Structures are given as structure tokens and as C-alpha cells.
Structure 1
Amino acid sequence: MTPAARLSAAIELIDTIDAQRVPAAKALKEWGTAHRYAGSGDRAAISGLLWDVLRRRASSAWIMDEDTSRARVLGMLRLERGMSTDAIAALCDGGRFAPEPLTSGERAALTSRTLAEAPAHIAGDYPEWLDGYLAQVFGDDRVAEATAMASRAPLDLRVNTLKAKREKVQGSIAHLGAQPTRWSPIGLRIELGADARNPGIHSEEDFIKGAIEVQDEGSQLATLLSAAKPGEQVIDLCAGAGGKTLALAAMMQGKGRLIATDSDKRQLAPIFERLSRAGVHNADVRAPKGEGDTLGDIRASADLVLIDAPCTGTGTWRRNPDAKWRMRPGALEVRLKDQVEVLDRAAALVKPGGRIAYSTCSVLPPENGEQIRAFTARNSDFTVVPPSQTVTVLWDKAEDFAAATLQSPEGLLMTPRRTGTDGFFVSILKRKPLSSQA
């Protein structure tokens, strides 16, 4: 397919998504099935165009002064891909499989319109109802922060230190262009261009042998900040597919007791194979059964409970641009209730002197600082460990990392703009020793 034909396909896909209200991933899959002549490079390029349009959906329409599939694609080429009007016009020549030529209005819009007068939610490409929340946490920087959250994410890998060292793995996947992550001492990053296909990590020997896992650097850091130690009793309370469970196991060096559980046993399905591949032998996976308490034998005895809390996922917008446009206020309300429940459950599991590591992949204050303030208000025997103390586990990078994050009395926030990671909030809560409790 020619670049022009790919552009036409992207416009067609956006029409389908708008008309049928289907998720972008589903639309892409169905398009690929119906157009088997399209090669893998074509599908990757069209997918890149589609996701970039979703990232810049509002601002692209503003630039073109028209909210249609074609207008959004043209505006995206200008804003996200940095293409000139003439370069865009060359793709839209009206030839076979190419979009129709630019109108005089489209050419004028591409040449002269800017985002200077656009409202914050338009310039930052996010739903208008979220503007107050983003203003609360970022103030006048919210457009810059949201714009960074709309950029394409790199592919981050975590080296499994139970099986390998970062330097060795970097050498063995040098053909993928992997470089050490900025903050995480166990991470590697592969930068991806606009039309780049995701590399076949799952077919790499290092992945097959369990030496690497796909995990955003922010998620790696959230786990590292929990400071899990060998010999401790650690609970991953919202383990899901096990990404943080695997990271905890490596931190514990196979020593101690690691329990992984989740309220939805379907989410746990991949964890067993992942633990086996990673060489983890000290993990106990507990799936919920009926009305029984899967952790009934662990009352006030855990050294650490890690909570990868259910959340809105606003911090992962650059990976899931489709999700932000489908998000509704009701979803936030549901997640807030889920977070209260999981925090209160964790409080009953932690021993005196133990700790809770609470994290979300969200940037919204109600899920982060406000949630922590409410928790400590109803649990007076827990206090927040100051972020300045939390980051010391990063050793020589602690000071620079702390300066890059957005800190509050309740924890720290990573963002794509500040730390180059997904958006992650982390709070470490310590339970007072018995001698200190009233």
C-alpha cells in the first residue's frame, strides 16, 4: 500500500469507529481480517495513524475547524507528525486509493490555524469534564502535561534479576536498540517511531527464558519504591496478570513468602505461566473462591502489602488513547469505591511496623492524595512515609528522581512530561509499632 492509501484506510477506520461506536483495537482487527492483502508494515502504519489521531482527536479537529474523520487525520499530520501543508497535500492528490485533494479551506486551516486560543481541554486533548481535576494537580501546566500524555510511549522492559543482569540482556537484544532506562536500575527502553511495529519481544530468547518482561519504567519504579526485602512476608493484593508480583519476587531474591491474589480470578489466569518462566518458587497464588476469605490466615502479620489499585488509568493515556475518550464520570466513582475497599482490606493484613505500598496509574487527585488522606483519617495507626525517604531505594539517582516528580505530603507522582514514564502515583504508608499505638 502507498502512504496515501494508508491514509485513506485510516480515515475509513475512524468513520467506522464513530459510526459503530466500537473500540479502536476491535476496528483495527476487523479491518485487517477484511483486507488480508495489507502486509504487516501496512497494518502497523495504519495502526500508528489511527492511534495518533485518537491521541490528538480534539486538537486536530480544532486546527481544521471541522470535526470529521478526514479533518482529524489532516490535523494530526500537522500537529503530531509535524508535516507541512505541501507534504500533506502531496498525500491527498486524489489519485487511486488516495484521499481527495485539499480544499482551499483545508489548506488555509493547515497553514494558519494554531492552538493558541484553544481551551485547555482542546489543546491538551482530554475530555472537558476532567479539566478541573487536571487543573487541581497541574495548574497552568495541565496542557503541557496532557500533551506529553498524548505522545506515543516507548517499549520498556524489566530485566529479571533472578536470571540475568541488565548489561548482558542489553547486549543480547542490541538489534532492537534497547538502552538503559533513565531511572530504573533494572530497565531497558526501546524507542518507537510513528510507523514502527512493536518488536516481537515474545519471540526473543531472553523473553522465552524469563530474563525479561514487558513493564513500563513507572511500574518498575512503583514496585521498587515498596522496598520489598528478602525474607519478608509480602502480599500483592491486586496482582492481576502478575507484572508487579514478578518484580517483587526478584527484589526478594526468592527468599521469604510472596502471596499474589486478586478479586477477579480471571485476571490471574496468566500469572502461573509467567511465574514459572521467571523462575519464581516462593510465590503462592490465591484465587478467590466463593464467599471465603482467601487471606483469612494472614491477620496483621504481613511486612508489606502492595496495592496496584484499580483506577481510571489516566496515567496510561499514551498507551491507550482510545480509553480516554470513552471514559465517563461514573467510572471514576466506581474506582474510588474499589480503592477504599482494597485499602481497608490491606490495613487489616499489615503487622505493626509493616507498610502498605499504594500505587495507581492515574494522575487524578481523588484517586491519589485525596484517597490517602481519607485512609489515614480513618486509620490513625498509619502514617505516610515522606517521599524524600521513599526514593532512597534508588540510590545515586534518588535526588534527581525526587526533583523530577511532583511531590505532596501523601506521596509522589510520575508523569510522561516529568519522568518520561507513564503517570504513576505512589504512597508508602507505615503502620505504627505496637509501642507507638494508643
Structure 2
Amino acid sequence: MTPAAQVSAAIEILADLSERRRPVADALKDWGASHRFAGSKDRAAISSLVFDALRKKASAAWVMGGDSVRAVMLGALREARGLGVDAIAALCAGERHAPAPLSDAERARLETATLDGAPDHVKGDYPEWLAERFAAAFGGRAAAEGAALAARAPVDLRANLLKGSREQALAKLAHLNPLPTPLSPIGLRIEAGQGRGPALAAETAYVKGFVEPQDEASQLASLLCAAAPGEQVLDLCAGGGGKALALAGQMHNRGQLYAYDADGRRLMPIHERLERAGARNIQVRQPKGKADVLADLEGRCDLVLTDAPCTGTGTWRRHPDAKWRLAPGALELRLKEQAALLEQAVRFVKPGGRLAYVTCSLLRDENEDQVAGFLASHPEVRALSGAATAEEAGLPDLGRFASPHGAGVRLSPASSGTDGFYVCVMRRG
């Protein structure tokens, strides 16, 4: 396929997303299935164009003076790709499978339109209904934080301490030119560029469990929990097991880690990952109907990790379609789920033990405000400051990311170069 035909295909997929409001992965898969002639490189290029348009949807529409899928694609070619009007016009020749030629109005917008005077939610490419919440979280930095969330994310890996050091992992993947992550002492970073990231499934270091994909912020969230060898730890929302595996590495396979998730289907990938990682101190607790499969852990745990379901606003670099599908009703539902999980989690924390509340959200509603509401009804629990949390984890430098809105640590693409995460460690008195 020619580059022009790839742009046409991307516009077609954006139209499908606009009509059906579904995950971009589903739309890309369906397009590929119905266009078998497109090779893997073509599909990767089209996917990249679609993701760029979704990242820059609001600013691209502002530049073009309209929000049609064609306008968004043309605006994204300028805003995300940095193409000039002549380069964009060359892609829109109207011949064969190319998009129709630029109109005089489109050419004029591409040549002269700017984001001067645009509101923060347009400059930052996030939904208008979240404007007040972004302002509450970031103040005058809201647009910059949103813009950072609209950028491409690197590929971050975590060195599995059960198999070897970060230095060994760097050596095993030297052909991919990895670099140590700036903040996590166990992370590796591979810049993805414009194309796909590395095919990890074909890398021996991954297959043999020396590394696991995990964003640096997620690594830091696990490290801030300060799990120690010999402790009793419960991961209450374990999902596929990413943080449980990280905690097992910190514990050096000593002590006991219980991995649970209310949705047993989400736990399925954990079994294969445990074997690959060599994690032997993780006991998977599968839900069994109405049975309380965690009853024996009540009041016994040194650490309970609640990686709560949330809006995922902090992961928009990796899932740009999610920000446009997010609705206010979803936030309300997540707030109720988070409050219920905290009430469930505290019963397992022993006196003097720790409760770690983690989200991949940047909204105060789901983070500091949620913790404040929980503490108000649990006087026996106190929250550690961000600085104290970092100090206890042996990562004092992370204290500079202490939340300005309450307890805990707040990470974001603009401030820390990571996905957006919130970590609050609380101690039961």
C-alpha cells in the first residue's frame, strides 16, 4: 500500500470508531480481516496513523475548524507528525486509493491555524467534561499534562530479580539498545519511535523470564509498597499478575504472597507468568461463588495491595481511544467500586500492617479524595506522606513527587516521564 492509501484506510477506521464507539483494537482487527491484501507493515503504519489521530483528536479538530474524521486525520498529520501543507497535499492527491484533494479551506487551515486561544482541554487533547477535574489536579499545568498524555509512550520492561539483575537484563537485550529507566532501579526502557515496539515474544530474555513488560510508574508503585522477604502479602486485585510478580521479586521468593481477583477470568494469565518468572511464593486464590476464599487471611497480612479499578486516565499514552470513550457514568461507578474495595481490604491488614492503594488515574476524585473519605471513617488507619512513603521504600528521591493534594505519591508523564499513577500507603494503628 502507498502512504496515501494508508491514510485513506486510517480515515475509514476512524469513521468506524466514530459510529460504533468501540475499542480501537477491535476496529483495527476487523479492518485487517476484511483487507487481507494489507501486509503486516501496512497494518502497523495504519495503526500508527489511527493512534496519532486519537491522541491529537481535539487539537487536530481545532486546527481544521471541524471534527469530521477527515478533518481530524488531516489535523493530526500536522499536529502529531509535523507534516507541512505540501506534504499533506501530496498524500491527498485523489488518485487511486488516496484521499480526496485538499480544498482551499483545508489548505488555508493547515497553513495558518494555530492553537492560540484554544481552551486547555483542546491544547491538552482530553475530553471537555474532564476540564474542571484536570484543573483541580494540575492547576495551570493542565494543558501541559494533557499534552504529555497525548504523546507516544516508550516500551518499559522490569528486570525480574528472581532471575538476575538489571545489568544482566540490559546485556541480554543489548541488540535493542535499552537504557536504564531514570527512576526505577529495576527498569529498562526501549524507545518505540514511529513504528511498533520490539516483538518481545520472540526475545529469549522474555521467554526465559528475565524481563517482564511493565511501565516504570507501575514498577515504582510496586516498589513503594516496600514488600519485604518473609512478609504475608495480599494482592487483592491481582488481575494478570504484573504487580504480584514484581512484589515476589522484592520478597526474593520468601514469605507468602496471595494473588486474588474478584473476576477469576482476569487471573488466568498469571499461571503461565508465574512459571516463566520462577515465582514460587505466590498462591493464587480463585473466587469460588459465594465462598469467602480469603477468610483465613483476616487480620494477618503485613501488606495488602489494592490496585483499584479506575478510569485509567494515567494510561492514555498507551490507550488514546479510551479517553474519548470514557463517560461520566464510568467515573461514578469506579468511585463506588474503589470505596468498596478499601472497605474490603482493611479487614486483612494486621495491626501495624500496611494498606497500599494504587490507581492508574490522575483524577483527585479517585485518588486523594477517595483516600480522605476512607480515612474519615477509619480512625485506626493513618496515611503516610509521599516523602515518608518514598523514604520507607528506600527511594527517597521519589519524595519530590509527593501529592500536593494530600497523602501519597503522584506520577504523570509531564512530571516524571511515566504513565500516570497514584500510590498511597496507609498503616493500621
TM-score w.r.t. structure 2 length? 0.97
- CA deviation vs aligned residue, 1:281-326 (integer Å, no higher than 9, x gap): 1111001111111110112111000111111111111111111111
**2:424 aligned to 419, 424, 427, which one?**
427
Which residue identity does 2:170 align to in structure 1?
Answer: Q
Q: Supply the distance in 2 between the matched residues of 1:187 and 1:21 (Cα, whole angstroms).
A: 35
1:89 aligns with 2:86: no
Which residue identity does 1:402 align to in structure 2?
Answer: G
Q: Supply the distance in 2 between the matched residues of 1:132 and 1:427 (Cα, whole angstroms).
A: 23
**2:400 aligned to 400, 403, 406, which one?**
403
SS of residue in 2 equivalent to 1:343: helix
- CA deviation vs aligned residue, 1:215-252 (integer Å, no higher than 9, x gap): 11000000000000000000001000000000010000
Which residues in structure 2 correspond to 1:26-425 (within 5 Å)?
Answer: 26-194=26-194, 196-392=195-391, 395=394, 398-399=396-397, 401-404=398-401, 406-425=403-422
- CA deviation vs aligned residue, 1:178-224 (integer Å, no higher than 9, x gap): 11111001111111112x11211012111111111111100000000
Moved more, 17-26 or 124-133: 17-26
Q: Supply the distance in 2 between the matched residues of 1:52 and 1:404 (Cα, whole angstroms).
A: 29
Q: Supply the distance in 2 between the matched residues of 1:372 and 1:394 (Cα, whole angstroms).
A: 20
Which residue identity does 1:73 align to in structure 2?
Answer: M
Moved more, 162-171 or 423-432: 162-171
1:19 CA displacement: 2.7
Q: Supply the distance in 1 between the matched residues of 2:15 and 2:133 (Cα, whole angstroms).
A: 31
Q: Supply the distance in 2 between the matched residues of 1:423 and 1:407 (Cα, whole angstroms).
A: 15
SS of residue in 2 equivalent to 1:151: coil
Identity %: 53
- CA deviation vs aligned residue, 1:239-276 (integer Å, no higher than 9, x gap): 00000000010000000011010111111011111111
Q: In the comparison of the two structures, how many residue pairs are matched?
A: 429
Which residue identity does 1:398 align to in structure 2?
Answer: P
SS of residue in 2 equivalent to 1:81: coil
Q: Supply the distance in 1 between the matched residues of 2:392 and 2:300 (Cα, whole angstroms).
A: 24
Match of 1:435 in 2: none
Match of 2:3 in 1: 3
Q: Supply the distance in 1 between the matched residues of 2:177 and 2:49 (Cα, whole angstroms).
A: 23
SS of residue in 2 equivalent to 1:351: strand
1:404 CA displacement: 4.7
Q: Supply the distance in 2 between the matched residues of 1:18 and 1:138 (Cα, whole angstroms).
A: 29
1:23 CA displacement: 2.5
Q: Supply the distance in 2 between the matched residues of 1:329 and 1:43 (Cα, whole angstroms).
A: 33
1:164 CA displacement: 1.5
1:405 CA displacement: 5.5
Which residue identity does 2:266 align to in structure 1?
Answer: Q
| Contact 2:225-2:393 within 8 A present in 1 as well | no
Which residue identity does 2:231 align to in structure 1?
Answer: E
Q: Supply the distance in 2 between the matched residues of 1:328 and 1:25 (Cα, whole angstroms).
A: 19
| Contact 1:301-1:349 within 8 A present in 2 as well | yes
- CA deviation vs aligned residue, 1:377-409 (integer Å, no higher than 9, x gap): 1110111111112112565x633x332554443
Which residue identity does 1:110 align to in structure 2?
Answer: L
SS of residue in 1 equivalent to 2:243: helix
| Contact 1:310-1:360 within 8 A present in 2 as well | yes
Q: Supply the distance in 1 between the matched residues of 2:50 and 2:87 (Cα, whole angstroms).
A: 19
Q: Supply the distance in 1 between the matched residues of 2:134 and 2:427 (Cα, whole angstroms).
A: 28
Gaps of 5+ in 2: none
Q: Supply the distance in 2 between the matched residues of 1:109 and 1:389 (Cα, whole angstroms).
A: 51
SS of residue in 1 equivalent to 2:15: helix
Which residue identity does 1:125 align to in structure 2?
Answer: D
TM-score w.r.t. structure 1 length? 0.95
| Contact 1:387-1:407 within 8 A present in 2 as well | no
Post-superposition, which runs of at least 4 consecutive aligned residues in structure 1 deviate over 6 A? none
Gaps of 5+ in 1: 433-438
Q: Supply the distance in 2 between the matched residues of 1:7 and 1:248 (Cα, whole angstroms).
A: 44
